[in-house]
A and B are shown apart, each in its own frame.
Chain A
Amino acid sequence: MRLSGDKVAQCVFLAIAFSAIASLLLIAIFILKEGLPFILRYGPWNFLSSADWRPQEGAFGIAPMIVASLWITAGAMLIGAPLGVAGAVFLSEFVPRPVMRVIKPTIELLAGIPSVVYGFIGVMVLAPLIRNHLGGPGLSVLAAAVILGIMVLPTIISISVDAIGAVPNSFREGALALGATRWQAVHMVVLKAARSGIIASIILAMGRAVGETMAVIMVAGNTIRLPHSALEPVRTLTANIAIEMSAATGMHRQALFATGVVLFVVIMILNSLAMTVLHRKVGR
């Protein structure tokens, strides 16, 4: 009797263990079911490369949104990656352990701040600064890139700190014993050994930047056009879905789900890439 109870528990836990993967499959199936037929009917190339988005006239080209998402993500990485990696190196190598124990969770708090609050700070503080000092409307590629660059810092820092922490101490001691300074040991030995974890953190951060919605809606300006400078307002893929979804019906709604499909595919590629890099055998 007791044995059979144990068996039941095991089966229940096994079933539950599939909840995450089942949810993932459900999400993939339903997003594809709503969006893929439209992409095939409209023509994938047309959908991705046309710069003409006029839902009322039946023109659905998402090229401007793709370009906007790319620009903003690239900008966010230019700002977030150096800052984040520098922070991670400083915290793991040059700061006493007790100080690190205070600062790391503080930085992780950045991840807990709601994205709408970031967006609002962007609108109230950053956009006026850009408007007054650099020109343009303020709400722009640049504003979105800066805000997203800040938002991805916790992702980059916490994963990179773990990667650097996983480098064996003997590596550092070896370098120091050969007469290297602390910094030489760090950038010639430790950073090389922690490379894959750091790269994975940056790829994951890219995924977060591509997928961020509310902050971007607030600071990017949302004009649908191909940007010519970083000071112009743009609309990203995510913003387009969130802004138009509530009023969309028929073809328009399908086109928005199709935009979701594009987003989903991009994110899955980035995540798989990050996981492959992260789990690659160290030392080969």
Chain B
Amino acid sequence: MRIPPRSTQVIAVGLLGGATLLTVAVLVFIIVFVLDKGLPVVTWSFLTSDPEDMGRAGGIFPIIIGTLLLPLLSLAIALPLGVGTAVYLCEYTRETRMTRVIRFGTDCLAGIPSIIFGLFGLVFFVGMLHMGWSLLSGGLTLAIMILPTIIRTSEEALRAVPQAYREVSCSMGATRWETVRKVVLPNALPGIVTGVMLGAGRCISETAAVIFTAGTVASMPTSAFDSVRTMAVHFYILAREGISNENAYGTAAVLILAVLLLNLTAYWMMHAFIRRRAR
């Protein structure tokens, strides 16, 4: 029996729509589940006090600080490198064998799993360069991890700046560097900020690479050579070792809210950027 094309269409679209709905439903379920269990735990004192008894009691204040410092340090390293690479690729060269090599390297780096970054950080920064398990080792390792994200978003942002801007700037006698600094980069800023948000999001979600390089010490760091614990690591330790499910949910709720905020800001900036360009 042949099913008429119209019916096949209805069936196919129904199945496809069902799959999409399922995907969205899973996302909503995860977020609602974590916030529902975690938010009641999140009080002002949970956010501002030190953990006690390995995290069974008390709050997550030093862990929040660790979660802020680590991405800041990684971005301080990855941002100049990433934007610099994008500027070179977009402004200083055409497509050549060399740019293909650079792009290939960036794509490969993007696909490397975090556990490999962790192993590398452990041998190179923690061991060989004697930085120990520290904010610095963690920051450097994560900087390499988020470099491809920063390069890609910056490149997109630079390419979105209209060619006419560059031509006008150059025709008024500006050098290429002056054009980049005064015309291209300021106009590409919202796109670059999007990359920063996404990079920060990856840093705070990361666990494996952080445990291997930044360690797990849950107290306030006093220098870049002190170990820190991020919220993702704290959550992992509490949940996996069965220390406190309640505080694990609380930490996860704060973490999810932070990730949502970063991603939504990134999306909003990108959107505003595209709209402004379209005008």
- Which B-chain residue is minimally distant from A8 (CB atoms)? B177
Which residues of B are found within 8 Å of A13, using beta-carbon distances? 84-85, 87-88, 91-92
For B128-154 the 0/1 string (1 means CB < 8 A from A) is 000000000000000010011001000
Number of B residues with CB within 8 Å of any CB on chain A: 81
Measured CA separation A66–B115 after assembly (Å): 16
Q: Is B272 engaged at the interface, CB distance under 8 Å to the other chain?
A: no
Given A14-B92, A113-B259, A181-B8, A107 and B24 contact (CB-CB distance below 8 Å)? yes
Looking at the assembled complex, report how far the CB atom of A34 sits from the nearest CB atom of chain B, in whole angstroms: 6
Given A31-B120, A107-B24, A271-B107, A9 and B177 contact (CB-CB distance below 8 Å)? yes
Q: Is A40 engaged at the interface, CB distance under 8 Å to the other chain?
A: no
Measured CA separation A116–B81 after assembly (Å): 29
Looking at the assembled complex, report how far the CB atom of A137 sits from the nearest CB atom of chain B, in whole angstroms: 16
Given A5-B175, A20-B85, A117-B252, A87 and B116 contact (CB-CB distance below 8 Å)? no
Which residues of A are found within 8 Å of B16, using beta-carbon distances? 86-87, 89-90, 94
Segment of B44-52, B56-64, B68-76, B233-241 engaged in the interface with chain A: B233-241
Q: Binding site of A, secondary structure by majority: helix, strand, loop or mixed?
A: helix
Looking at the assembled complex, report how far the CB atom of B120 sits from the nearest CB atom of chain A, in whole angstroms: 5
- Which B-chain residue is minimally distant from A123 (CB atoms)? B239
Which residues of B are found within 8 Å of A12, using beta-carbon distances? 84
Q: Is A242 engaged at the interface, CB distance under 8 Å to the other chain?
A: yes
- Tell me whether A10 and B92 are in contact (CB under 8 A): yes
Measured CA separation A107–B263 after assembly (Å): 11
Segment of A53-61, A70-78, A166-174, A207-215 engaged in the interface with chain B: A207-215
- Tell me whether A83 and B19 are in contact (CB under 8 A): yes
Q: Is A196 engaged at the interface, CB distance under 8 Å to the other chain?
A: no
Looking at the assembled complex, report how far the CB atom of A28 sits from the nearest CB atom of chain B, in whole angstroms: 9
Looking at the assembled complex, report how far the CB atom of B148 sits from the nearest CB atom of chain A, in whole angstroms: 6
Which residues of B are found within 8 Å of A115, using beta-carbon distances? 205, 207
For A93-127 the 0/1 string (1 means CB < 8 A from B) is 01100000001011111101111111111010100
Measured CA separation A117–B104 after assembly (Å): 31
Out of B20, B206, B240, which one reaches A103, CB within 8 Å? B20
Measured CA separation A9–B92 after assembly (Å): 10
Looking at the assembled complex, report how far the CB atom of A37 sits from the nearest CB atom of chain B, in whole angstroms: 13
Out of A30, A89, A275, which one reaches B104, CB within 8 Å? A275
- Tell me whether B239 and A218 are in contact (CB under 8 A): yes
- Tell me whether B105 and A117 are in contact (CB under 8 A): no
- Tell me whether B108 and A24 are in contact (CB under 8 A): yes
Which residues of A are found within 8 Å of B151, using beta-carbon distances? 20
- Tell me whether A30 and B124 are in contact (CB under 8 A): yes
Q: Is B39 engaged at the interface, CB distance under 8 Å to the other chain?
A: no
Segment of B27-35, B159-167, B218-226 engaged in the interface with chain A: B27-35
Which residues of B are found within 8 Å of A94, using beta-carbon distances? 13, 16-17
Measured CA separation A274–B27 after assembly (Å): 27
Out of B80, B85, B115, B232, which one reaches A211, CB within 8 Å? B115
- Tell me whether A103 and B124 are in contact (CB under 8 A): no
Q: Is B262 engaged at the interface, CB distance under 8 Å to the other chain?
A: yes
Given A14-B92, A113-B205, A268-B108, A213 and B114 contact (CB-CB distance below 8 Å)? yes
- Tell me whether A214 and B111 are in contact (CB under 8 A): no
Which residues of A are found within 8 Å of B177, using beta-carbon distances? 5-6, 9-10
Measured CA separation A119–B208 after assembly (Å): 13
Which residues of B are found within 8 Å of A116, using beta-carbon distances? 207, 232, 235-236, 239, 252
Which residues of B are found within 8 Å of A241, using beta-carbon distances? 115, 119
Looking at the assembled complex, report how far the CB atom of A101 sits from the nearest CB atom of chain B, in whole angstroms: 8
Q: Is B267 engaged at the interface, CB distance under 8 Å to the other chain?
A: yes
Interface residues of B (CB under 8 A from A): 5-6, 8-9, 12-13, 15-17, 19-20, 22-24, 26-27, 30-31, 33-34, 80-81, 84-85, 87-89, 91-92, 101-102, 104-109, 111-120, 122-124, 144, 147-148, 151, 175-178, 180, 201, 204-208, 211-212, 232, 235-236, 239-240, 248, 252, 255-256, 259-260, 262-263, 267
Q: A116-B252, A260-B116 are in contact. List 16 more A-B contacts (CB 8 A).
A: A9-B180, A20-B105, A21-B102, A21-B104, A24-B105, A86-B20, A90-B16, A110-B23, A112-B205, A119-B236, A181-B5, A182-B9, A211-B113, A218-B239, A238-B115, A260-B115
A-B contact pairs, 20 of them (CB 8 A): A16-B88, A20-B85, A27-B116, A108-B263, A109-B27, A113-B27, A114-B259, A116-B252, A118-B30, A120-B235, A183-B8, A184-B5, A211-B113, A211-B115, A211-B116, A213-B114, A214-B236, A241-B115, A260-B115, A272-B108
